[in-house]
């Protein structure tokens, strides 16, 4: 059982110990497959030995990043050895880096938002009397689920990345935004910039979607971005 903090940006922040020497807060990121630390965090960490620099690809474009080949990480009572670390520019506000669910490969991960704990199980826990199942697409180390958006009276089905690093509700891809002409049919309430892990910038518009359904659950007046 691992305690976490749900931050004001809707990120899951967890205490971790790096190389038995440095304590920091890491974001649990469902769309991450590597352990990464921000440049701001690494300025204060002396236990990392950097191996070199490589080009990496994020959703906003390419960037060069430092790489450390072998490190230890402790979260709760679990310790991993020989972990690679990548250096990135951004993580969730208030965290010094991020890790993904691949650290718990072969396990079941329970996120209890009532008690603010992550529970790691050897198998799917029993006694779950209220839950829903939904088909999951696993592709390129990322998890996708289908959702249905109602725009101007028409229903659009689209695949959505399960992305706990995103502090909003629903974010559309460029192809969907173009095909649905969503900007012409909903009220635009805000415009802002999103930055990926390596500082690449995407400008986004925000608006209110009248109806959205996901895994059989219906939502009204959902804040969406594109």
Can you tell me the distance from the alpha carbon of 203 to that of 30, in angstroms, rounded to the nearest whole number? 23
Q: Which residues contact 120 (CB under 8 A, 6 or more apart)?
A: 1, 2, 78, 104, 107, 108, 109, 110
pLDDT digits (tens, 9 = 90+) for 95-110: 999 999 999 999 999 9
Backbone dihedral angles phi then psi of residue 124, each to the nearest 5 degrees: -60, 125
Distance CA(68)–CA(2), nearest Å, equals 26
Q: Please tell me the distance from the alpha carbon of residue 127 to that of residue 183, in angstroms, as a whole number.
A: 45
What is the arithmetic mean of pLDDT over 76-94?
93
Give the residue from 23, 32, 25 showing the smallest Cα distance to 9.
25
The predicted structure's pLDDT at residue 62: 65
DSSP state of 186: S
Helix (H, G, I), strand (E, B) or coil at 183: helix
What is the pLDDT of the chain when averaged over all its residues?
A: 90
The strand order across the sheet containing 2-3 reads 2-3, 117-121, 108-112
CA distance 219 to 30: 22
Long-range contacts of range 186-192, CB-CB < 8 Å, 24 or more positions apart? Answer: 186/151, 186/210, 186/224, 189/223
pLDDT confidence tier of residue 220, bands split at 50, 70 and 90: very high
Mean pLDDT of 157-170: 91
Q: Which residues contact 110 (CB under 8 A, 6 or more apart)?
A: 118, 119, 120, 121, 125
CA neighbours within 13 Å on the CB side: how many for 11? 22
In this structure, what are the phi and psi dihedrals at residue 83, rounded to the nearest 5 degrees?
-90, 135
Backbone dihedral angles phi then psi of residue 115, each to the nearest 5 degrees? -105, -5
- pLDDT at position 176, please? 93
pLDDT of residue 58: 61
Spatial separation of the C-alpha atoms in residues 28 and 26, rounded to whole Å: 6
Q: What is the pLDDT of residues 10-58, one digit of tens each?
A: 999 999 999 999 999 999 999 998 899 999 999 999 999 998 877 766 6
């Amino acid at each position: 059982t691992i305690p976490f903090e749900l931050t004001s940006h809707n990120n899951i922040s967890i205490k971790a110990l790096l190389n038995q020497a440095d304590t920091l807060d890491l974001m649990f990121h469902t769309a991450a497959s590597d352990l990464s630390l921000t440049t701001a965090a690494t300025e204060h960490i002396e236990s990392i030995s950097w191996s070199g620099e490589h080009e990496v690809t994020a959703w906003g474009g390419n960037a060069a990043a430092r790489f450390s080949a072998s490190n230890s990480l402790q979260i709760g009572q679990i310790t991993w050895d020989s972990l690679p670390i990548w250096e990135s520019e951004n993580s969730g506000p208030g965290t010094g880096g991020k890790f993904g669910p691949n650290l718990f490969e072969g396990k079941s991960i329970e996120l209890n938002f009532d008690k603010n704990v992550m529970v790691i199980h050897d198998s799917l826990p029993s006694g779950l009397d209220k839950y829903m199942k939904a088909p999951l697409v696993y592709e390129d180390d990322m998890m996708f689920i289908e959702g249905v958006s109602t725009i101007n009276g028409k229903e659009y089905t689209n695949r959505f990345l399960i992305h706990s690093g995103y502090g909003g509700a629903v974010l559309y891809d460029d192809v969907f935004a173009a095909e649905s002409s969503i900007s012409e049919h909903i009220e635009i309430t805000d415009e802002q910039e999103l930055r990926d892990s390596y500082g690449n910038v995407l400008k986004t518009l925000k608006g209110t979607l009248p109806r959205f359904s996901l895994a059989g659950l219906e939502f009204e007046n959902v804040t969406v971005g594109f």
